[in-house]
Amino acid sequence: MSTEKYIELEHQYVANIYHPLDVVIERAEGVWMYDVEGKRYLDCLSAYSAVSQGHCHPRIVDALVDQAQQITLTSRAFRNDQLGPFSKELCELLGYDMVLPLNSGAEAVEAAIKLARKWGYEVKGVPNDQAEIIVCGGNFHGRTTTIISFSSEPKYRKHFGPFTPGFKFVPFGDMDALVDAVTPNTVAFLVEPIQGENGINMPPDGYLKFAETLCRRERMLLITDEIQVGLGRTGKLLASQHDNVRADIVVLGKALSGGFYPVSAIVADKPIMGLFHPGDHGSTFGGNPLGAAVARAALRVLVDEKLVENSAVQGRRLIERLRRMESPYIHEVRGRGLLIGVEVTAEADGARRFCEALAERGVLCKETHGTVIRFAPPLVITSEQIDWLAEQVETVFDQIEAQDQIEHEEEMASTAV
């Protein structure tokens, strides 16, 4: 079928909750994706950082196929031979005691909220149903009803109420506001080390360390949402490690399975995770043998192929190239590792048209928050591919600037006449 026919089918049968670029991907390998017309694209989104190990990595493919031929699902009513080894390997890699295996990132955030509240009531002694969790304005932690209850984005909330209480907003990066928000009933501070969906927003230097110190002083838990920024994306295994921060609860997802299967988790030490008992939480697919086997392979690829280190090196290379660009349409280039945002100016008329122009040149990226182009290629990307990517970005900015100048001059000439 043609690209148009596939798009027509989606318009007819699929709920309209996304605004994708009009390319139809058929297959992928490494950093490259191919559409149904045979055109090749450099993937600069990595399925929102889920495909960090590269598309269809052969080691993860083998693990998936081998396990699928053995057993895929037992539910947690019975044990399986993959869950224990997966949990051990993840704990040893990150330096925590225990894992709660789940499926989606939003599900993992929900579990972290439940665990923090339970800790607040049973350990800190907060009065029942009075627990408060501090969150940041501009956050993105998922789209469940509870999670959108503490979103500051109106379009995520409109017509989805009533909302879950128990959350208090502070501006991202504002240390004074964080201090002022703490009360005796505060049980946790939930934060993204870098706000991805809100435009690759970086906190001020020292912010996360300050938050960790405050949490220790005030007897509250620090929960870091590393779903998008963790597992090598920023050039460290966890983004919080850039600030030498060790959160009480870490939320993981996306790259945990290399893009092969929905796998998420929260990790914490036993005094916290040990508060969960049978019946407190559950998931039919959470910790299933297929997902666990895939995640084990995905983690081995990250470590064995030194993808965390490559993310740091190639990220520096890309951000330096982008910052050397001279364009009146670039407001700021920011990021860490292979999570980089190029924020365009108001005169640029939005980021989407740059993404569409890049797609024409074989680069697939996506705008976020309207004015930011996000670059997050798979962590297997090479220096040569980084340089080619930077050339395409430079060309697109030059072309759009030149075209806009021509249109402006023509408009002025017609007005003068």
Catalytic residue among 118, 124, 236, 254: 254
Q: Two tokens at 56?
A: 């269809």
Q: Two tokens at 189?
A: 């501070």
Catalytic residue among 35, 225, 243, 248: 225
Active site residue 254: yes
Q: Two tokens at 165?
A: 């209480």
Active site residue 155: no
Active site residue 140: yes
Catalytic residue among 35, 124, 140, 210: 140
Q: How far apart are CA 56 and CA 31, in angstroms?
A: 10
Which of these, 216, 221, 224, lies nearest to 122 by C-alpha position?
Answer: 221
Query: Which residues are catalytically annotated?
Result: 140, 225, 254
